Amino acid sequence: MADDIVTPEAAEFLSIMLEETRLPDDWDVSGFWLGGAQQLAQFLADHRGEIRLDDAAMLVGLGAMLVEMAKREAEASETAGAFLRGDGGAHG
């Protein structure tokens, strides 16, 4: 999302989240779920050194799940759009 600019530190956390889910480079993700991941990454960056390592690892795992949900939502939206346009998406 163009409005959701994060700091370089938060971008590092987002990078870890993206690497954890192994997203393809050209994968489009939903703004809702990606926005949540960006906010979580920014929180982690803003509180670096204040959060215990095990808690930070849990939050990064949560961020990875947010990114995974964004991936699945984008995939579902693409399939639904193709079906509604008559481009396929239905079995049979």
Consecutive 10-residue runs of the chain (92 residues): their mean pLDDT?
67 77 59 82 91 88 85 78 73 48
Residue 18 amino acid letter: L
**For residue 40, is it within any domain?**
yes
Residue 40 in tokens: 């979580």
**For position 27, what pLDDT does the model report?**
56
Q: Is the separation of the CB atoms in 34 and 67 below 8 Å? A: yes
Domain assignment of residue 47, given as a range: 8-21+28-78
pLDDT of residue 47: 93
Q: What pLDDT shows up at residue 2?
A: 39
pLDDT for the residue 29 = 58
| Maximal C-alpha separation, the chain | 55
Domain count of the chain? 1
Q: Which pLDDT belongs to residue 1?
A: 39
Does any domain span residue 73? Answer: yes
Task: Give a three-class secondary structure readout of 40-69.
Answer: HHHHHHHCCCCCCHHHHHHHHHHHHHHHHH
Task: Give the residue among 21, 34, 55, 36 at the shortest CA–CA distance from 47.
Answer: 55
